[in-house]
Every structure is written in C-alpha cells, then in structure tokens.
Structure 1
Amino acid sequence: MSQSLLIISRQAPWSGPGAREALDIALAGGAFELPVGMLFLDDGVLQLAVGQTPEAVQQKDLTANLQALPMFGVEALYACAQSLALRGLRETSLDVERLDSDGLRALIDRYDQVITL
C-alpha cells in the first residue's frame, strides 16, 4: 500500500520558491498515483486568491499548476479557515475544504508523511 503524503504550503505565491516547489511535489506524487493531499496554511492561502496578476511582479502564474492538481489525482485540497479569514479571502480560485484548528490536527494525523514548504 502506498504511503499517503500531505504537502503543507505556507508561502505566498511569489515570496520564494516554496509555493512552486510544493505544487511540483504534489503534481509529481499525483502522477505516480500516490495518495496526496495539499493544505494551504498561513500565507500559503494567498495562492488561492482570485484575480492574481503575477506579471505585475514579473513572475510566472501558478494558477495553471493549481488547476492541474485534480487532473493529476490530487483532489484532497484543504485551507486553514483562520488563515483565509485573516487575509480577507472569502472566495478562492480552487474548491478547498476549509478547516478549523481541530480539523487541521485531524488532517495531519491522517497522513503517513507530511512535507511543509
């Protein structure tokens, strides 16, 4: 049986390589049919903001990678409800399950391996 993998993405889309690396790991795991989940936490929820303009900061758009997650079998997508609220994000670009602190603990406990970027 495959080990399940939870990737926790905590970086804003263009604050460094962490956001892109988290997406790359999730896509690679999904391509190899691993049970992969992805949690957006802290500034990582900013990746889910609608209407981003990465060209304004001369960066590549992560939207295509985010939208490809379900096509690669990564359908378990979560976001910290408190992180979303603190950043004023009511609407997200992906359909994610919003979790409170108890839900976050239970989620992390369900996975065999956890990677935080």
Structure 2
Amino acid sequence: MAKSLLIISRQAPWAGPAAREALDIALAGGAYDLPIGMLFLDDGVFQLAPAQQPGQLQQKDLSANLQALPLFGVESLFAAARSLGERGLNASALSLAVQVLDDVALTALIDRYDQVITL
C-alpha cells in the first residue's frame, strides 16, 4: 500500500514558485492514485482567496490548478482556521471547498499522514 502524503503549502501564490510547486506535487501524486492531502497554512491560505488578479504581478493564475485537485483524486483539502482569520479570509467565501481546522485538529491531521512535505 502506498504511503500517505500531506503537502503543506505555506506561501502566497505571488511570493515565488513554492505555491505552484506544491500544487504540481499534489497533482502528480493524485495522477498516480497516491493518498494525498493538502493543507493551506500561513500565507498559503491566500491561494484560496477568490477573484485574484495575478496578471497584475506578472504571475500565472493558480486557480485552474486548484480546481483540478479533486479531478486528480486530491480531495482531502484543509485550511488552518487561525491563518484564515489572521488574514481576514472568510471560509465560506473561498474559491475551493476545504475543511477548516483549528490548531488541535491540525496536529492530529499531520500525525495521520506517513510523510509530510512543506513548501
């Protein structure tokens, strides 16, 4: 049986390549039917903000990649409640359906996975 993998995405979509790399890893793993979860933490929750305009920063839009996650079998999507609150994001207005977790649930989530990658 394949080991489970949790990808923690901590970077804003416009802060460099880390957000895109995290999505690429998730999509690739999903294509091979690996049990993958993705956690948006810290500035990574900005990836879930609606109506982004990355072209103004000469960045590529990540929304299509985000929307493709469930199509590739990456359906375990999570966001940190504290990160959302600190950045003024409302969980009900995000561009992707995620399970919002408090700090205790985050610890339990990370413990559930065999391997964890943080980008």
One-letter amino acid of the structure 2 residue matched with residue 65 of structure 1: N
In structure 2, the residue matched to 1:116 is 118
1:96 aligns with 2:98: yes
How many Å separate the matches in 2 of 1:56 and 1:84? 23
Count of residues in Structure 1 that have an aligned counterpart in Structure 2? 117
Deviation per residue, 1:76-113 (Å, 9 max, x gap): 00000010011010021000000000000000000000
2:31 pairs with 1:31: yes
* Partner of residue 49, structure 1: 49
Match of 2:8?
8
Structure 1 stretches of at least 4 aligned residues deviating more than 4 Å after TM superposition: none
TM (normalized to structure 2)?
A: 0.97
Confirm or deny that 1:83 pairs with 2:83: yes
CA separation in 2, counterparts of 1:54 and 1:15? 11
SS of 2:37's partner is strand
Name the SS for the 2:28 alignment partner.
helix
1:64 and 2:71 matched: no
**What is the CA–CA distance in structure 1 between the aligned matches of 2:89 and 2:56, rounded to whole Å?**
20
State the partner residue of 1:74: 74
Specify the code of the residue in structure 1 equivalent to 2:42: D
Q: Distance in 2 between matches of 1:11 and 1:61?
A: 14
What TM-score does the superposition give when structure 1 sets the normalisation length?
A: 0.99
> Which blocks of at least 5 consecutive residues in structure 1 are unaligned?
none
Displacement of 1:8 in angstroms is 0.1
Alpha-carbon deviation of 1:14? 1.0
Pairwise CA RMSD of aligned residues? 0.4
In structure 2, list runs of 5 or more residues that go unmatched: none
CA distance, structure 2, for counterparts of residue 75 and residue 7 of structure 1:
12
